[in-house]
Structure 1
């Protein structure tokens, strides 16, 4: 089989061969590019004395740099005595783990008939609009209290809707109790979570020292998590909206979030400050072949989905034991408020109707986009963040700021 130092142009320009051909990379021993007669190109790792192959992924969904990184990690596993191909086959034959969405489906089919029509309609609306989009893909066996708490806090704080937050908690508790009775769950973790109220909503933001530790933990993450987490702190936007950002949403230094992706149900413009532009340059190397900035590492041309495992790694690496993703948004907002950002401008940056004062009257008459004011505030925050990361700002010389 031919050996060659694989390059992106070489792989891109390969013609369809007359028969299936494998090109062995000279940079990472064992990594190969398989090209079929139809022109299909895929990376694999050859290992063992019996010619085993572990398929890494299809080009260009998986790029050359990513394939080399995966191959190196697989070689470490093999050196430790593991067999990645055998594990893949074993996992393929395992029953698919039940998710929150699976529980919701059974819950609707079996439990809804016992409810009044009005209750049934309310449950269905909240499950479909909130619970499934946020928690639906999480396996029941791995969902944690923190997953649920973060959802409830986000509803209570971002939407200024503690009543809705408590209603979602009640529905989740009913679902999980139903799941326990059906044998889908061992216990109902929602019962250990107290209802949220206006007084008990979370006010946590990070000190300069904590920000440095958290940022250092970001740097330990692989893409797209590294750049995504940075963007959440730099721009202060919601994680769900940030995850779904497409490259065509970025035009001339402005990130436009379409109305259908926003909680406020209105188009939202975010002038990108200098640190965000640096992140875009970094992530471009990872997601150049995707419609999405923060592309899924496992699904073809889809945005990265579940972030809780990565957030857990950041929590452990940073030693900020109560680290939560939503606190990044609150931290950015708190520091901007501490720099005397006008409350209306801050609300416009966060796309938070209540904070921006967007009641029905102002929503009709205030059509000004506040782009320059938002850009100024975000630039000031990025300048402060840059100084924090360089060790020039400490808690001892930072003005006390309320959240």
Structure 2
């Protein structure tokens, strides 16, 4: 039997919670307003259910409603969700599908369309998908994000953005009054390690297709980009490449120390494909500059934008034809000229039989000063030459030989 009586309820003047028993409380607010709250803890999770104000819900009815809610909880039914369902408010899972259906036609990237809803269904819906979209609170979202916040930081950040989109949609539809308290959620999550910036890279499996399409483009940017691919050099090094740095007889390109990131001279063995590309560039030589890839402005090299333009146009053309485009699968951004260094590195480690240190040397990543010279001459240089030849053949799709 309950503790509260009509007299006790009338005499409750001080703000606070007055227990009736079994989790039912009469709550007196600072202004004197009185209402009923049922507090239930199940599976180590505490939830409060509002049962109405005292002016409309007398003690007897409050006890009846409390008993009904307890029974629903024991049967595995969410009373708030049931109440919202009766009012026409969708669950979070239902809201996810509605938001996705409304926005998908405007999203050009087919992968993004699929990943948007997949991320929510995999990581958010199992935690609060059956809740009314009006009942999803900051605590539930924080707990959901915390499970992958450090393990999968990029996925977690995208998940947070997509949950917010669904909640904001619910606010706009009038299903809830407020958006999520994001500052509170952010403060409740552990600090992620600083995000390492990566240049979007194309998967090596797409290289043959990409190069075939690239060769249909007629521009100086396309020729420079092809050289970036065959040499695995930094895009700025290729853009500033001069004829004086190239030894066609020895089939080498020597990048001077002042133009390398490491501050060391870097010798690049040129594959037959790279040499053939240089032959194509001979007719473009100009008297006023020694640049191999001169830009439109007299005496200036190509801009990075000019080199990146063919990739963007090819990506857009692929999407229009129903293809998957040329995106970095992790970053979900169009591949960049510099990103082909990562493509090459992945190919060396995952497909080729060449040792990883040889690939690192090709990228000018050798960390030991004592080994730098060895990788620049003699047998090591010849091994690197064979490595770059295998890479060029792989890119052309003419061979799967990997060392």
Calculate the TM-score normalised by the size of structure 2.
Answer: 0.42
Answer with 1 or 2: which has the greater Rg.
Answer: 2
